[in-house]
């Protein structure tokens, strides 16, 4: 009997360690400078289980693996690409009450759960630029010789957001607007890092990034020289999402983690670990620097179907204008 108990305890112990909750995440998320490690520690303290992150290109990887994926939860989708993810049929409804969400717009998706968000914006050095553009139209039409670095919409999610943002603001005149902006754009980079590096090195005056970027400089570097230029037309709303896999072999634990995403514990980690806005935390509970950041009045958002329908046309217009 005693042996039986010991054996049972052993089996239970090995089961707990042998089968962790496998979470697929983008590389930045699980790295030690991302929010992943703190979230892992906080969740493991509550659940008596183990989280294992698997990093890489999130969506391509899940599409490659299909039904046989080991993922229990996938975190880090962008709303502009969830259509493709949803069509795979690999994801299960989260079944959660969405009332804790504090997004600037209504969110009713029953599968993809927001965990953080931000607005795309042009970040500039406020010691060099005293009269930043107050609207997208002003940026495009201005005679100032600003130099800007942006990301390519074909290789970068923030680059895609810019193109969709422009399409929403300028509509049928988008191509003409890009053609006017093109001379001010010093270069287009493959990813966010290259462009932001050019900005911090002083190679360009402005960079396409997020309204939350200055918070990093304020909090981590005590540097107040970086600001986001706020536009009257509104800013493109970028949200990151998590979803539970239908084929998970740990449905309860996956559900538990999905619920944990909306908890204050998780949400409080987001601002200073991810440098973005938390999805389920009232503004008065954000870190001070975040509350002080200038905050857009209006969100521009395309749901996944709209984004998908517009994408090819918007990229082609951008590309034609920028290839002149």
Partner 1 sequence: MAHRVFAIRLWPGLIAAALVAALSLGTLGVVALRAESFSTLSKFDWMAVRFTVVQALISAGLSVVLAIPVARGLARRDFYGRRLLITLLGAPFILPTIVAILGLTAVFGKTGFVSIALNWAGLGPISIYGFHGVILAHVFFNLPLATRLLLQGWGAIPSERFRLAASLNFAPRDIFRHIEGPMLKEIVPGAFAVIFLICTTSFAVALTFGGGPKATTVELAIYEAFRYDFNLGKASLLALIQVVICAVAAFVSLKFRVPQVGGAGLDRPVQRFDVHMLSARGLDLFWIVMVSLFLLLPLLAIVLRGAHGLFDLPSSVWSAALRSLVTALGSAALAIILSLSLSLSALRWRWLEGVGMTAIAASPLVMGTGLYIVLFAVADPADWALFITGLVNAVMSLPFILRAIGPALAATERNYGRLSDSLGLTGWTRVRLVLWPRLRGPVGFSAGLAAALSMGDLGVIALFARPDSATLPLQIYRLMGSYRMDQAMGAALLLLGLSLALFYIFDLWGRRRA
Which parts of this chain interact with partner 1 (CB under 8 A)? 27-28, 30-34, 36, 53-57, 59-61, 63-65, 68, 70, 81, 84, 147, 152, 154-155, 160, 182, 185-194, 196-198, 200-204, 213, 216-217, 220, 275, 316, 318-319, 322-323
Any bridge partners for residue 80, and if so which? none
For residue 59, the minimal CB distance to partner 1 (Å) is 7
For residue 116, the minimal CB distance to partner 1 (Å) is 14
65 vs 297 by CB, closer to partner 1: 65
4 vs 202 by CB, closer to partner 1: 202
For residue 323, the minimal CB distance to partner 1 (Å) is 5
Question: In a 3-state reduction of DSSP, which class is residue 117?
Answer: strand
86 vs 232 by CB, closer to partner 1: 86
Strand intervals (E) in the chain: 21-25, 51-55, 73-78, 91-92, 113-125, 148-151, 185-189, 206-210, 226-229, 235-245, 277-278, 299-300
Measured CA to CA, the distance from residue 117 to residue 168 in angstroms comes to 19
For residue 195, the minimal CB distance to partner 1 (Å) is 9
For residue 192, the minimal CB distance to partner 1 (Å) is 7
**Residue (of 147, 129, 102, 34) closest to 295 by Cα position:** 102
| 262, two tokens | 């909306």
Question: In a 3-state reduction of DSSP, which class is residue 324?
Answer: coil
27 vs 306 by CB, closer to partner 1: 27
27 vs 256 by CB, closer to partner 1: 27
Contact 153, 318 (CB under 8 A): yes
37 vs 100 by CB, closer to partner 1: 37
For residue 5, the minimal CB distance to partner 1 (Å) is 33
Measured CA to CA, the distance from residue 89 to residue 85 in angstroms comes to 8
Q: Left if phi > 0, otherwise alpha if psi is -120 to 50, otherwise beta: which for 319?
A: alpha
| 236, two tokens | 């493109």
For residue 65, the minimal CB distance to partner 1 (Å) is 6
Any bridge partners for residue 227, and if so which? 124
242 vs 262 by CB, closer to partner 1: 242
- Please report, for residues 29, 115, 228, the alpha-carbon distance to residue 296 in angstroms, rounded to integers and kept in the order given: 25, 19, 10
């Amino acid at each position: 009997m005693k042996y039986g108990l010991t054996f049972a305890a052993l089996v239970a112990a090995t089961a707990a360690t042998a089968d962790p909750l496998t979470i697929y995440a983008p590389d930045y998320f699980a790295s030690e400078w991302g929010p992943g490690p703190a979230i892992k520690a906080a969740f493991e303290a509550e659940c008596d289980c183990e989280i294992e992150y698997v990093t890489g290109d999130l969506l391509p990887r899940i599409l490659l693996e299909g039904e046989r994926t080991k993922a229990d939860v996938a975190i880090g989708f962008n709303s502009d690409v969830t259509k493709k993810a949803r069509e795979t049929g690999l994801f299960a409804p989260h079944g959660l009450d969405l009332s804790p969400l504090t997004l600037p717009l209504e969110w009713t998706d029953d599968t993809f759960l927001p965990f953080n968000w931000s607005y795309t914006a042009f970040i500039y050095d406020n010691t060099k630029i005293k009269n930043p553009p107050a609207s997208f139209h002003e940026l495009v039409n201005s005679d100032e010789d600003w130099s800007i670095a942006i990301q390519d919409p074909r290789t970068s999610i923030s680059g895609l957001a810019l193109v969709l943002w422009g399409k929403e603001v300028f509509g049928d005149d988008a191509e003409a607007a890009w053609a006017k902006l093109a001379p001010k754009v010093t270069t287009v980079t493959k990813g966010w890092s290259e462009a932001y590096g050019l900005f911090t090195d002083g190679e360009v005056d402005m960079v396409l990034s997020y309204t939350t970027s200055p918070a990093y400089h304020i909090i981590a570097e005590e540097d107040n020289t970086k600001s986001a230029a706020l536009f009257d037309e509104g800013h493109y709303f970028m949200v990151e999402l998590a979803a539970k896999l239908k084929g998970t072999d740990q449905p309860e634990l996956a559900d538990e983690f999905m619920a944990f995403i909306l908890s204050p514990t998780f949400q409080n980690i987001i601002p200073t670990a991810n440098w973005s806005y938390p999805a389920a935390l009232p503004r008065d509970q954000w870190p001070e620097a975040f509350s002080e950041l200038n905050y857009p009045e209006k969100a521009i958002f395309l749901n996944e179907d709209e984004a998908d329908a517009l994408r090819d046309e918007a990229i082609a217009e951008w590309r034609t204008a920028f290839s002149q």
